[in-house]
């Protein structure tokens, strides 16, 4: 038995290569190997080269769970999104993920659910990973989940909405302003009888309320409202128009809470031979790619969802690295995009 026998792994070891092995191979101490990988400017060129050679030879990949434990920095960001396959939120998540990746952070994904209990479980699972930041789609209402998150001290960004009482940082826009602006926009075009086709979510609710208030202010009649519940499909848009025409045959302009619903309304209108926008005007929300690609192209409210993701990434990274975020509340605004359907 020589002194050069391969290191005996203890019974508990996972058997994988460790920094200690690489350091031994390079003839340096583990801490020097660590520095060579994490802060190379603190290590002399000669040792740096030796360590890199050892890493290349062995294919060593540092264990970040160990690093996270020792340094209290996980380089992990958790995002919570609603579970809607084709939702407008995907653009945000992709932009967020791309920016995080460039800064060597990882994204953990959690799907929020409508059950409060599951939501708490999700938040607890997230906090258990000790992420350096949490991205929330929407704002988190008071409750046990919010309390836990606040208590954890983890930096949080809430998004897609505005509130005077955010947990921490906030990147969004005003749904009230949108509702009012759309009402005024349509009223100025001369429409007088309005319809609302909307999903059952809190943000759509606030847009709807502001829409109605703006009409009232103009002494215009209140809109006929069709609530499609949780569903957000083209199909439910079609059915909504059927119901709408039943309840209000002479409706002139419909504001939909998503582009998908707007497309459904458009298709049903076309199937019935209604001319768009002469017989019926349609306004969507979200401005997803194919709203513009329909014919006639659908007018919509554009949200810069990628920008929300990019700013969120920057803020979360800044906070993770101890920097102060000067403008923790950002209103990214929106734009009414007028196309052929209004």
Partner DNA sequence: TTGAAAGCGCTAACAA
Partner DNA sequence: TTGTTAGCGCTTTCAA
In the complex, the residues that contact DNA under the rule CB under 7 A are 9-16, 18-20, 28-32, 34-35, 37-38, 41-44, 46-47, 62-63, 66-67, 69-73
* Residue 36 DSSP symbol: H
Instruction: Answer yes or no whether residue 155 interacts with a second copy by CB under 8 A.
Output: no
What's the CA gap between 199 and 203, in Å, rounded?
9
Question: Which parts of the chain are beta strand (E)?
Answer: 76-82, 106-112, 133-137, 156-159, 169-172, 194-199, 224-229, 253-256, 281-283, 300-302, 329-331, 335-337
With beta carbons less than 8 A apart as the criterion, state whether 197 and 256 touch.
Answer: yes
Instruction: Answer yes or no whether residue 231 interacts with a second copy by CB under 8 A.
Output: no
Instruction: Answer yes or no whether residue 130 interacts with a second copy by CB under 8 A.
Output: yes
Stretch that binds a second copy, among 60-68, 178-186, 222-230, 318-326 (CB under 8 A): 60-68
* Residue 277 DSSP symbol: T
Instruction: Answer yes or no whether residue 320 interacts with a second copy by CB under 8 A.
Output: no
From the CB of 271, what's the least distance to a second copy, in Å? 6
From the CB of 31, what's the least distance to a second copy, in Å? 15
From the CB of 25, what's the least distance to DNA, in Å? 12
> Which residue of 30, 52, 129, 227 would you call a contact of a second copy, by CB under 8 A?
129
Q: Identify residues 202-221 at the interface with a second copy (CB under 8 A).
A: none
Helices 30-38 and 45-58, interaxial angle, to 10°? 90
Sign of CA dihedral 4, 8, 13, 15: positive
| Binding site partner of 200, from a second copy, DNA, none, Cβ cut-off 5-8 A by kind | none
C-beta closer to DNA: residue 70 or 85:
70
* Residue 257 DSSP symbol: S
| Binding site partner of 294, from DNA, a second copy, none, Cβ cut-off 5-8 A by kind | a second copy
| Binding site partner of 324, from DNA, a second copy, none, Cβ cut-off 5-8 A by kind | none
Instruction: Answer yes or no whether residue 151 interacts with a second copy by CB under 8 A.
Output: yes
From the CB of 2, what's the least distance to DNA, in Å? 21
With beta carbons less than 8 A apart as the criterion, state whether 179 and 208 touch.
Answer: yes
What's the CA gap between 200 and 25, in Å, rounded?
62
Stretch that binds a second copy, among 94-102, 192-200, 279-287, 324-332 (CB under 8 A): 94-102
> Which residue of 2, 10, 39, 72 would you call a contact of a second copy, by CB under 8 A?
72
CA-closest candidate to residue 272, choices 309, 252, 245, 253: 245
> Which residue of 128, 249, 273, 322 would you call a contact of a second copy, by CB under 8 A?
128
From the CB of 91, what's the least distance to a second copy, in Å? 6
Stretch that binds a second copy, among 156-164, 170-178, 243-251, 282-290 (CB under 8 A): 282-290
What's the CA gap between 301 and 196, in Å, rounded?
15
* Residue reference for tokens 């991205």: 135
From the CB of 74, what's the least distance to DNA, in Å? 11
From the CB of 247, what's the least distance to a second copy, in Å? 23
Q: Identify residues 100-119 at the interface with a second copy (CB under 8 A).
A: 101, 104, 106-111
What's the CA gap between 44 and 5, in Å, rounded?
29
What's the CA gap between 186 and 259, in Å, rounded?
17
With beta carbons less than 8 A apart as the criterion, state whether 290 and 259 touch.
Answer: yes
With beta carbons less than 8 A apart as the criterion, state whether 301 and 284 touch.
Answer: yes
The CB density around residue 69, as the number of other CB atoms within 10 Å, is 12
SS3 call for 283: strand
Instruction: Answer yes or no whether residue 264 interacts with a second copy by CB under 8 A.
Output: yes
* Residue reference for tokens 């605004």: 333
Which residue ranges make up the site for a second copy (CB under 8 A)? 14, 16, 59, 61-66, 68-69, 72, 74, 83, 85-86, 90-91, 94, 97-98, 101, 104, 106-111, 122, 124-125, 127-130, 148, 151-153, 233-235, 238, 260, 263-264, 267, 270-271, 288-290, 293-295
């Amino acid at each position: 038995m020589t002194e050069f026998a391969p290191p005996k792994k203890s019974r508990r070891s996972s058997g994988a290569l460790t920094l200690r092995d690489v350091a031994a191979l390079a003839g340096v101490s583990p801490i020097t190997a660590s520095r060579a990988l994490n802060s190379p400017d603190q290590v002399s060129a000669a040792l740096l080269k030796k360590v890199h050679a050892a890493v290349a030879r062995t294919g060593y990949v540092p264990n970040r769970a160990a690093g996270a434990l020792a340094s209290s920095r996980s380089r992990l960001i958790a995002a919570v999104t609603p579970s809607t396959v084709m939702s407008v939120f995907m653009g945000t998540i992709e932009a967020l993920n791309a920016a995080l990746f460039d800064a060597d952070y990882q994204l953990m994904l959690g799907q929020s659910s409508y059950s409060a209990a599951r939501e708490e479980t999700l938040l607890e699972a997230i906090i258990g990973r000790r992420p350096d930041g949490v991205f929330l789609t929407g704002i988190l209402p008071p409750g046990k989940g919010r309390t836990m998150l606040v208590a954890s001290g983890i930096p949080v960004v809430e998004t897609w909405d505005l509130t005077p009482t955010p947990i921490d940082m906030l990147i969004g826009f005003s749904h009230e302003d949108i509702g009012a602006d759309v009402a005024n926009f349509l009223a100025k075009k001369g429409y007088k009888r309005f319809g609302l086709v909307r999903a059952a979510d809190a943000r759509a609710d606030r847009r709807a309320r502001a829409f109605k208030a703006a009409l009232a202010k103009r002494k215009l009649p209140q809109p006929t409202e069709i609530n499609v519940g949780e569903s957000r499909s083209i199909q439910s848009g079609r059915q909504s128009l059927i119901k709408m025409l039943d309840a209000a045959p002479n409706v002139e302009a419909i504001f939909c809470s998503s582009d998908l619903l707007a497309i459904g309304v458009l298709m049903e209108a076309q199937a019935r031979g209604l001319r768009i926008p002469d017989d019926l005007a349609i306004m969507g929300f979200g401005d997803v790619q194919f709203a513009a690609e329909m014919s006639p192209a659908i007018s919509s409210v554009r949200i810069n969802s990628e920008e929300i993701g990019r700013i969120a990434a920057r803020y979360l990274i800044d906070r993770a690295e101890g920097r102060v975020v000067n403008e923790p509340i950002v209103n990214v605004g929106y734009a009414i995009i007028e196309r052929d359907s209004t």
